Amino acid sequence: MRFSREKINFLARQILDFLFENDQVEFLDEPNEIRLSIVRSIEEEIKLYNLIDKKAIEKIQSQKKSIEEGSREWEILYRKYYNDEISKLGKFLE
């Protein structure tokens, strides 16, 4: 998953604007600091999902049988391994 710096900043501003509209949210820091924190969080999530993607692909490539990328078998294995990695992460975070 690739997002440009501009897209990440756009998303962060959208999230911040949404939070500003909510009367139940109280801000304890400057808006720009909050936006930067949101940007860092988005970037960390992207890195995490890229790592999970890489692990899933490596598992497919480590199969004894060569599996052509884009084939139905590759897509099924990718989804399975990707979801397995997500599940491991969820158990780790509990």
Domain that holds residue 45: 5-93
Number of domains composing the chain: 1
SS3 for the chain, per residue?
A: CCCCHHHHHHHHHHHHHHHHHCCCCCCCCCHHHHHHHHHHHHHHHHHHHHHHHHHHHHHHHCCCCCCCCCCHHHHHHHHHHHHHHHHHHHHHHC
Walk along the chain (94 residues) and give the pLDDT tens digit of each residue.
678 999 999 999 999 999 999 989 888 999 999 999 999 999 999 999 999 999 999 999 999 999 999 999 999 999 999 999 999 887 766 5
